[in-house]
Structure 1
């Protein structure tokens, strides 16, 4: 299913010449240029992110992926490097208390912290060992057995001020979350890399994407995933 989803994505991406001929919409975020393929709501007023689910052609494909069910994905440009997001204490250093996190929310393989004196309704998760840099802010009610909402931020490898942000509504049960979060981070960053046409304006971008999706050539759409 995963390869089928990526193959369908490759079929709808145009080559570089058609981008100019058809005047398709592209979005500049930081040092990178991303293919959008169509106009979308909020483009004129919100120029610091690309909302993938607002692109009708891409949203139809995203809905075919079970992993991305109940998610909303943005490519965001930050005002500074993203390093501050990967600390276990989270943005601003607010998440410093691990003892207040109930045992059922302590995900193996992750550091899980909550705020001092703030109960455990909001938690910040960072993987203890992963080739990819990502972190999550999750929320849960006192009677919950799993997280009710998580926001996953993943580092974009080609620009330190760009992240791929995924809002996850009603995540899977706790025993599935480790592999699930890892796959969401990998898949969403790969999609962003597929849409990144910064270095492909004079090349056949569609063919490069097809080679990655069909022949599993990792030269383009997964470039830098482990850096």
Structure 2
């Protein structure tokens, strides 16, 4: 059983990126996954007066969510405790099919999506995109098989800022179709769980976002993050949050 707690290496001050006067991305920082200190895929986005969470795990904030986006059902991405903490009666929870199965008996406003689906939420547009492994963890077994229909999300905010959260994934051919991204939140160095450093850098150099934020890595592998930065094209801003 996977045990998730707050890491004692967590920065006591939440780390934020202010993209404009009205848009801010925040992370509460490191969690402990079993015994490993880990920077998660968990973010809050404030767009004007709207509050958006992606894969909230061990969040410290008390801001109620307008929208919660969940990529898949692994416990470092899906925390029922945190969803209950930030969800109100009007919160829309957008999720993949594996997550919907786990949340179906709870009283949430669920919107199930699969890769390729698009949602128009008025002040927020969402496209669900593929997120899966091409390489196995053991023999033929993959941590994130394509058949699970896990997703990443491309979010277009009210001012047309585009944020791409890749979820847990390898470098996929369909990523070449993702255009005009302002911020990409990308897993780095995940053994056979996600892209390794070289794959992540190659993906980012193809995608060409204005800014990239590495996620889903162990804190002890800081050399991986430095290598990722060195392999990323110079015009792409790399922001490391911890």
Shorter-chain TM-score above 0.5:
no
Question: Normalising by structure 1, what TM-score?
Answer: 0.27
Comparing both chains, which one has the higher relative contact order based on Cα–Cα distances under 8 Å and sequence gaps of 6 or more? 1
More strand by share: 2
Bigger helix share: 1
Tell me the TM-score normalised to structure 2 length: 0.25
